[in-house]
Amino acid sequence: MPQLGFGVFQVSDDEAETAVRTALENGYRSIDTASVYRNERGTGRALRSSGVPREELFVTTKLWNSDQGYDSALRAFDASLERLGLEYVDLYLIHWPLPKRGTYLETWRAFEKLKADGRVRSIGVSNFTVETLQHILDESDAVPVLNQIELHPYFQQAGLRAFHEEHGIRTEAWAPLGQGHGLLDDPALARVAEAHGRTPAQIALRWHLQIGNIVIPKSVTPSRIAENIAVFDFELTGEEMAALGELDRGTRFGPDPATFDVTG
Ligand code: NAD
């Protein structure tokens, strides 16, 4: 899986087709969508018409909350695959754990079956906490390959990252650029950006890559799509990494997975 990919949250079906095409032209090979984004069709059109061989692409989609459960997860996967127009996906994720509902374990059993059937290459989770991850590790032999969680310099998730490391689970960061909530205006990022002749977004992405995160920044603006992948030809120093490490505020922008229970 490429360490840097492209996300399409809050992008319409038609916009997703254009944005994914632009991303592929700029060298991205990993695309992150979800059934709840309602853009699997546009994403699939861009993937299929790109001319990029299927084996070079890495396609992730996610099971929405209302589809949790064994049979419903299998049905929801069929529908996602049909919308994408693909024969398999590379990575399928449980979008949220919904701990109060208590259906993620039977959902995970369905994921194990999809993997055994070869229609999903890898299975993982998103927004799982230490507690819900531990439950899966206790009850299943299949370790999630990764956990996709909110993570950026303002919310660094040290505890969960250490837990992942201990159990061989990769960390994937959503909102890697802080989702437009002011992170990119932070003076500390600006200082490092100036020192390298780079943009704050590129510095934030470099920080992620150097702590080992997989990242999936989103943009529909062609110049930013190009900018966000141009981060493999420079490196932050230990001091710069330490300065960015101090930006952690310990508060998230998105919902808390321990209580988030939306199924609509
Ligand atoms: P992000 O941190 O990638 O921020 C995206 C926003 O940052 C853009 O809308 C744009 O306003 C701005 N931006 C992008 N590139 C920029 C640049 N170079 N310069 C200045 N501003 C720039 O936030 P995101 O889209 O929420 O997260 C990335 C991806 O993660 C999503 O598209 C989606 O695929 C995934 N995601 C997953 C979950 C989940 O629950 N699993 C939740 C949210 C997002």
- ipTM, interface predicted TM-score of the complex: 0.99
- Work out which ligand 1 atom sits closest to the CA atom of 223: 18
Give the catalytic positions in this structure. Answer: 37
Quote the longest CA-to-CA distance of the chain: 54
From the CA of 176, how far away is ligand 1's center (Å)?
Answer: 6
72 Ramachandran zone, left/alpha/beta (phi>0; psi -120 to 50): alpha
Q: What is the pLDDT of residues 169-217, one digit of tens each?
A: 999 999 999 998 999 999 999 999 999 999 999 999 999 999 999 999 9
Tell me if 229 CB under 6 Å of ligand 1: no
pLDDT of 224 above 90: yes
Would you place residue 264 in the very low, low, confident or very high pLDDT band (cuts 50, 70, 90)?
confident
Per DSSP, 38 falls in state T
CA atoms 162, 204, 241, 243: torsion sign: negative
Q: What is the per-residue DSSP string for 107-129?
A: HHHHHHHHHHTTSEEEEEEES--
Q: Which of 17, 80, 24, 10 is nearest to 54 (CA)?
A: 24
Residue with tokens 């959503």: 174
In 127-236, where do the E strands start and end?
A: 146-150, 170-174, 214-215
144, 105 Cβ separation under 8 angstroms: no
From the CA of 169, how far away is ligand 1's center (Å)?
Answer: 22
pLDDT of 263 above 90: no
Under DSSP, is residue 6 helix (H, G, I), strand (E, B) or coil? strand
Can you read off the two tokens belonging to residue 173? Answer: 């960061």
- Work out which ligand 1 atom sits closest to the CA atom of 178: 2
Domains of the chain: residue spans and CATH:
6-245 (3.20.20.100)
Q: What is the pLDDT of residues 22-62, one digit of tens each?
A: 999 999 999 999 999 999 999 999 999 999 999 999 999 99
Edge-to-edge, what's the strand order for the sheet holding 146-150?
6-7, 30-32, 58-63, 89-94, 120-126, 146-150, 170-174, 214-215
pLDDT for the residue numbered 194: 98
Exposure pattern of 86-98 as b/e (b: 16+ CB <10 Å)?
beebbbbbbbbbb
Pocket test for ligand 1, best of 174, 229, 231 (most atoms within 8 A of CB): 174
- Work out which ligand 1 atom sits closest to the CA atom of 126: 41
Q: What is the pLDDT of residues 66-124, one digit of tens each?
A: 999 999 999 999 999 999 999 999 999 999 999 999 999 999 999 999 999 999 999 99
Q: By percentage, how much of the chain surpasses pLDDT 70? A: 100
Tell me if 127 CB under 6 Å of ligand 1: yes
Can you read off the two tokens belonging to residue 54? Answer: 């299927």
